[in-house]
Amino acid sequence: MRQRIALVTGAAGGIGEAVVRALAEDGTAVAAVDANTEGLALVVKELVEEGHLVRGYTLNVASSEEVNAVVARVEDELGPVCYLVNAAGVLRTAEAVDLLEDDWDLTFAVNTTGVFNVSRAVARRMIPRKHGAIVTVASNAAKTPRWNMAAYAASKAAAASFTKCLGLELARHGIRCNVVAPGSTDTPMLTSLWADSDGDALRASIEGTPEQYRVGIPLGRLAQPGHVADAVLFLLSDRAAHITLHDLTVDGGAALGN
């Protein structure tokens, strides 16, 4: 049987790195993509030394020209991509009226336009093959308003909606498109917000912030990146062969099932 090929964006850390590792350990050849060249090289080096077939590709997902070139290179070097995981993301926090235009633009360039660029490039190649699965990592904030996260939430909502529309159009070609929506997850993106908080931010994430109308996490703990990766791998796998246009929330109950 031909080896499966996956392309994963945001692969240099956090959820993206966990997805790359989970796929590699499952026997999938992985094209690991990220704008962070140094971080990506470390991830790839570690996995290759463990005996996995993983190659790194530096890419700005906001550039359609770069995306098209890298997707072509991946298929030339590894083979036809059958799995795509859109895990690249950035977070810029501020109240909406104080949000800088540059932060808004960057957030949408990576979180939304990046999903469009990569999904379109890969889907165009999947269509003639009549096979493939795409998963976009969004956020529970896409459906539940969060204080200081207007740009992030809006960008993730747009990415999730795009992915479902894409899935509707690609279903006739046998290609499935789904969304995984994490809540607070123990990644550098989250912990970078906790500088000098002396543990208060962690407690607030778990216990809630009433003044910001935010409940805590009913399961009483942060997600680990591997928890999200497990959900991604399920939706990519043949066990989810009849699941498409689905939004799977992985947040320990923080959005109360929303």
* pLDDT tens-digit map of 187-211: 988 777 656 555 677 788 888 889 9
The stretches of the chain forming alpha helices (DSSP H) are 14-25, 37-49, 64-77, 101-108, 114-126, 150-170, 188-191, 200-207, 225-236
Residue 79 has pLDDT above 80, yes or no: yes
Active-site positions read 152
Q: Does 32 or 192 have the greater pLDDT score? A: 32
Q: Does 214 or 35 have the greater pLDDT score? A: 35
Query: Residue 189's pLDDT is what?
Result: 80
Residue keyed to tokens 């990046």: 114
pTM of the model: 0.95
Query: If we measure between CA atoms, which residue out of 7, 124, 115, 18 comes closest to residue 56?
Result: 7
Task: Report d(CA 50, CA 137) in Å as an integer.
Answer: 26
- Per residue in 125-146, pLDDT (tens digit) is 999 999 999 999 999 999 999 9
Report the length, in residues, of the chain. 258
Structural domains present in the chain: 5-183+225-249 (3.40.50.720), 190-222 (no CATH)
Q: How is residue 126 written in tokens?
A: 């999947």
Task: Report d(CA 217, CA 85) in Å as an integer.
Answer: 26
Which of 58-72, 73-87, 202-216 comes out lowest in average pLDDT? 202-216
Q: How is residue 113 written in tokens?
A: 């336009």
Q: What are phi and psi of 125, to 5 degrees?
A: -85, -25
Query: Residue 203's pLDDT is what?
Result: 80
Q: How is residue 204 written in tokens?
A: 């607030």
User: What torsion, rounded to 10 degrees, do the Cα atoms 6, 11, 14, 15 define?
Assistant: -20
User: What torsion, rounded to 10 degrees, do the Cα atoms 155, 161, 164, 168 define?
Assistant: -130
Q: Which residues of 126-147 are buried (b: 16+ CB within 10 A; e: fewer)?
A: bbeeeebbbbbbbbbbbbbebe
Query: If we measure between CA atoms, which residue out of 15, 50, 40, 258 comes closest to residue 135?
Result: 15
Task: Report d(CA 120, CA 65) in Å as an integer.
Answer: 12
